[in-house]
Every structure is written in structure tokens, then in C-alpha cells.
Amino acid sequence: MIQIGLTGWMDHPILHTQSKHKLVDYASHFPIVELDASFYAIPSQERILHWLKQTPDNFQFIAKAYGPMTQHARRPDESRPLKDLFATFSKHFRPMVDSGKLTAFLFQFPPYFTCVRENVRYLRQIRTLMGDVPIAVEFRHPSWLSPDYATETLQFLQHYHLIHVVVDQPQTPHNSVPLVAAVTHEKQSILRLHGRNYDGWIGADDSQDWRQVRTLYQYSPDELNNFKDITLTLADASENVAVIFNNNSGGHAGPNAKEFQALLGIQYEGLAFRQLDLF
């Protein structure tokens, strides 16, 4: 199965989502979403239960791990031991895991998480702390998928039943990895598409908000055709493939995802009813 979705369900103009039920509206278009709010703070269990109630039975979430769990900087008021953070995160998300609506927890590591022995040990620790839930790993430092370490990295991920996230992004010197269309988990593959805005990815100047320009990119038909080939290759080696469009600084993720769905000739069943269709 190939599932196409976007990062977040807010602020996608093409979807015409309404403020009171944006997730419901989103779920009438796509069968999967990447939950990025959990990167900034661990959602309450009540909020997670609310999201589950708002979505159809077969809807799926890719939930980002809380930032400190991937060695991103902590908030000034965040002083809990790492083990407690993992325990709280797992407890809050237990209903999503039990519901069958979780595709994977996405551990997106920062560019300074390099391929060294200490960080390899940390990946093992994550698997221990998280138990047997599905975990996807996305690197940002090129050393992990360099010619010297790519084979060992992929073998390591496969051994620990970790999903290798295939990434399309600008090939900057120190904060990106090459697109390696490899499968490390027989049940799930993930392809994340960040756009190819080199200047935005490498860092905007002081007068700009880099978060607003990093994913400012619209994929061309030729580029989408290339992703079609990659997606079908992944689908040959894993039961499910999730394709997540994150190129939304300019609102391009939604249109590109719709184009890609048409390109693959996919019609999704079991989506939520569109609110406008009820009147």
C-alpha cells in the first residue's frame, strides 16, 4: 500500500480546511499525516485521543519524537531526565499505538548527530527505551550515508528493526544526506520530500526567517515522475510506503501531493466525509 500525505494538517490552502475541524477536513483528502507538533512538546493523552476520534478507522499518523529525545536543544524549563521523557512520551502516545493508527515514531536527528560510536549507542538506547513500537530514523549529517558508512548504517537499522527514512533535500555540505532508496524494514518504508531550496536549506541571512524559506519549493512533473519510480521500488521491498510532502513554505506540498496521487493512479477509500459535501 502506498499512502501519500503532508506534514501537519494546518495551513494547506488547497485543502480549504475550516478552523474548527482542520484535521477532519484534512482526513477527507489524505489517509496519513506527519504529526510535527510532538517535536515541540509532548501532547497530552487527552489531545491525542481527540485526534484519534476525529479521524477514520484506517487513518495513519507519523508522530515526530519530542526534540530532546533526538538530542535537539531542550527548553529552559525542561529538566526531566531523558529516561523520564521517553516514558512520558510513550505513555501519552499509547492510545495511538493501541489504536493501530501509528505508522511510526519519526526520530529526526540534527546535523550535529554524526556517525560516531557514541551516537550508535544512543540509537540502541532508543530501541530499548521505546520497546517494540515502529521507529523511523532520519539523519541530517552526511556521514551516516557516506560511502564509508552507508552499508553499515543500513545494516544496523535493519538489525534493530528501524525504518530508514528516504530523504529528498538539497545537497548542502553539512546538514543533508543523499537520497538512498533502501528498505530496512519489510513492513514499512517512508519517503520524505523537503524540496530542493538550497539557499533556504543552508540557512537564510539574518533578515529572513529560515523556517519560512527552507521548504519553499515546488516539485516539477519530471521530479515527481522520478519519485514515482523510487516509490514503486520501495513498494517492491516493503508492504507499505508512506510518502510525505514537506515542501510547504509556499503552500506547494498539497498541490504536489495531489499531482503525485494522480500520477500513481491512486484512489483512497475510507477517507473522512468532506464537510462541504454535507450541505
CA proximity to 3, closest of 23, 27, 37: 27
The rounded distance, in Å, linking the Cα atoms of 79 and 96 is 26
pLDDT at 209 > cutoff 70: no
Cell digits for 143?
556521514
Mean pLDDT of 250-276: 88
- Mean of the pLDDT values across residues 118-129? 96
Average confidence score pLDDT of the chain: 90
Q: What is the mean pLDDT of the segment spanning 5-33? A: 84
Mean pLDDT to the nearest integer, 114-137: 96
pLDDT in the model for residue 188 = 97
3-state SS assignment for residue 111: coil
Predicted TM-score of the model (pTM): 0.92
CATH of the domain at 143: 3.20.20.410
Look at residue 57 in the predicted model and tell me its pLDDT: 93
Look up the domain containing 12 and give its range.
2-278
pLDDT classification of 274: cutoffs 50, 70, 90: low
At 141-168, the pLDDT tens digits run 999 999 999 999 999 999 999 999 999 9
Domain count, the chain: 1
pLDDT over 70 at 199, yes or no: yes
pLDDT digits (tens, 9 = 90+) for 171-193: 998 889 999 999 999 999 999 99
Q: How confident is the model over 32-67, as pLDDT tens digits? A: 999 999 999 999 999 999 999 999 999 999 999 999
Per residue, what are the HEC states of 67-83?
Answer: HHHHCCCCCCCCCCCHH
Mean pLDDT for 243-258 is 94
DSSP-based three-state secondary structure for 104: strand
Q: What per-residue confidence (pLDDT) applies to 202?
A: 80
pLDDT of 223 > 50? The answer is yes
Q: What percent of the chain has pLDDT over 70?
A: 92
Please compute the mean of the pLDDT values over residues 196-210 and round it to a whole number. Answer: 70
Q: How many Å apart are CA 36 and CA 188, to the nearest integer? A: 19
Q: What pLDDT score does 45 carry?
A: 95
Task: Provide the pLDDT for residue 279.
Answer: 39
